[in-house]
Amino acid sequence: MAIFTNVATLTYNNITTTSNVATGEILEVLSVTKTALTATYSDAPVTYVISITNTGTSPFSGLTVTDDLGGYTFNGATRYPLSYVDGTVLQYVNGVLQAAPSVSVGPPLVFTGVNVPAGGSTVLVYAANVTEYAPRGSGEGVTNTVTVQGNGANSPATASETVTAVTGPRLSITKTVSPATVSENGTLTYTFVIQNVGNTAAEAGDSLVVTDLFDPLLSNISVTLNGTPLSVGSGYSYETSTGAFSTVPGVITVPAASFTRDASTGAFSTVPGYAVLQVSGTI
């Protein structure tokens, strides 16, 4: 609801007089909400839903919908933690799929020519990638705001949504063998590198386990974790008849990644935490 006032002026014989103050109000019938389909982000696109509702008796046409893509100022320049995924926008009017609106990817992201029927709604669904300007630390997040304005709208309608960086370890494992060519009765070393790009360490309670089935079979194996020997039973198990190898749950831990920010551009970079498991034996 918006209040407006108006005063009239009467002039005669070099005399000026004013009327009383007339007061009225405009009922704002256009509203907007913005929702992310996931509350957290990592590397996958985030899907957003913008719902524009018209409770009035007249339609709105030719509206402009602007998403600031979370833009913020860093070192005097605007950095955008989100970027529109080209071609992803869908438009529904009263639940029925329509042709997509015109799109300017920006940033900021702008949809034009959006219509909202009387007593109805228009919904825009689209995806945004997470850029290098999005923070990754635990508890950090991105807030972006949508603004709807245009013909017939008394004032812009706005809505914001916040998504936070996913919290927890995010692990991957790679395996190499050395030497690549080995003679019969020679020694092989398998190296497993476990990386963590998450903002939380993988602790003993996370029960990490590395399993493998060595073929060819290994005998007289030795196992180290980050250069420290592990003992059979307390650190790992190995079946010499089958080649089945497994670390004891919780023996392997991996520190959290560290996140650094370029002091000039504001871009974030990730330095993974890692653990190295090595298994050596005779074939």
CA 202-205-210 angle, to 5 degrees, is 65
- The pLDDT value given to residue 116: 97
**Three-class SS state of 206:** helix
- DSSP character string of 128-181: EEE-TTS--STT-EEEEEEEEE-TT-SS-EEEEEEEEE--S--EEEEEEEESSS
Those residues whose C-beta lies under 8 Å from the C-beta of residue 76, and which sit 6 or more positions away, are: none
- The secondary structure of the chain in percent helix, strand, coil, rounded to multiples of 5, reads 0, 55, 40
Where do the CATH 2.60.40.740 domains begin and end in the chain?
2-164
- Which class does domain 2-164 fall in? mainly beta
Pair type for strands 171-178 and 187-196: antiparallel
Fold of 171-282: Immunoglobulin-like (2.60.40)
**Three-class SS state of 204:** helix
Which DSSP symbol is given to 242? T
Query: What residues of the chain score a pLDDT lower than 50?
Result: 1, 24, 26
Distance, in Å, from the CA atom of 172 to the CA atom of 193, rounded to the nearest integer, reads 8
Which DSSP symbol is given to 76? T
**Three-class SS state of 205:** helix
Structure tokens, 55: 């409770």
Contact 124, 94 (CB under 8 A): no
- The pLDDT value given to residue 3: 58
Rounded (10°) CA dihedral 10, 13, 14, 20:
-20
CA distances from 196 to 67, 130, 170, 201 (A): 33, 19, 5, 8
Residue 4: exposed, middle, or buried by beta-carbon count in 10 A (0-12, 13-18, 19+)? exposed
pLDDT per residue as tens digits for the range 14-33: 888 887 777 645 456 899 99
Pair type for strands 236-239 and 244-247: antiparallel
